[in-house]
Amino acid sequence: MFLPKLLEKAHSGERLVTLTCYDASMARLMASCGIDILLVGDSLGMTIQGHDSTLPVSLADMVYHTRAVAKGAGGQAVIMADLNFGSYQASPKQAFASAAQLMAAGANIVKLEGGAPFVETVRFLTQRGVPVCAHLGLLPQSVNATGYRMQAKTEDAAQQLLDDALALQAAGASLLILEAIPEKLAARVTQALTIPTIGIGAGVHCDGQVLVINDLLGLTPTPPRFAKDFLHGQGSLEAAIRNYADAVRRGEFPGPEHSR
């Protein structure tokens, strides 16, 4: 699936369903279940490699897993790949060189974390044919500075996030992930933007949702509050994934217990 078709779905009012994916077998299954976006996340640092953060993940790791996921998906889902820590922060030119490797491996869009400092990077990439998904709120690559906690809880911080979102959209971002922010703020940002928002721990009012596949399958020892075990009570991985996709599209997930 190419990005323009995905954006058409979002603009028609259909919620976008996203899951992290790291290998060809799971990509094949997710694509067959109608998952819209397969996010090759640097979360693989924790889910696959066993680290306590995303920071040790290399660009070579991201290229390897992106290639595997793209092969498994067979063109039936949009492949989004994270720009890992250290692969884009130095300059827009560094970001383009890294993004080019991910695109060559099969990514349809790359994702980067951060607001105002990366507006010019987003503009540089998009002007050169690299679609970008921006990411605001809780930024896992900044965990040493912020910790894993709810972001933008004050009015000043909320306004800064909204300003950043508008600036990233103006720079050419095609999508925006909102992670671990108050539900009312996510609704406010979603209403203010013309590009789709995808939430994780940001309430039900975003244009789509994303979960880490390990959280969806109940494999995380201490899952985050916004996660749900969709495998519980189901007879197969396929049933769990379809259950999640249906819940997102019906607006049933996340529920109040997954939001603040």
Q: Look at residue 241 and tell me whether its pLDDT is greater than 90.
A: yes
- Strand 37-40 to strand 208-211: parallel, antiparallel, or no bridges (unpaired)? unpaired
Task: Give pLDDT, residue 255.
Answer: 86
The secondary structure of 193-219 as a DSSP string is: -SS-EEEESS-TTSSEEEE-HHHHTT-
Q: How many CA atoms lie within 13 A of 253 on its CB side?
A: 23
Catalytic residue among 113, 120, 155, 179: 179
Q: Can you give the pTM of this predicted structure?
A: 0.97
Q: Look at residue 153 and tell me whether its pLDDT is greater than 80.
A: yes
SS3 string, 31-90, reads: HHCCCCEEEECCCHHHHCCCCCCCCCCCHHHHHHHHHHHHHHHCCCCEEEEECCCCCCCC
Question: 83: Cβ–Cβ under 8 A, 6 or more apart, which residues?
Answer: 62, 95, 98, 99, 102, 110, 111, 112
Q: Look at residue 1 and tell me whether its pLDDT is greater than 80.
A: no
User: pLDDT confidence of 52, banded at 50, 70, 90?
Assistant: very high
Task: Give pLDDT, residue 12.
Answer: 95
**pLDDT digits over 137-150, tens only?**
999 999 999 988 99
155 is catalytic: no
Backbone angles phi, psi at 202, to 5 degrees: -130, 15
3-state secondary structure of 175: strand
**pLDDT digits over 68-108, tens only?**
999 999 999 999 999 999 999 999 999 999 999 999 999 99
CB of 181 closer than 8 Å to CB of 160:
no
Backbone angles phi, psi at 222, to 5 degrees: -125, 85
% of the chain exceeding 90 in pLDDT: 93
Question: 41: Cβ–Cβ under 8 A, 6 or more apart, which residues?
Answer: 20, 22, 54, 82, 212
Cβ atoms within 10 Å, residue 52: 9
**pLDDT digits over 113-124, tens only?**
999 999 999 999
Show the domains of the chain with their CATH numbers. Answer: 3-258 (3.20.20.60)
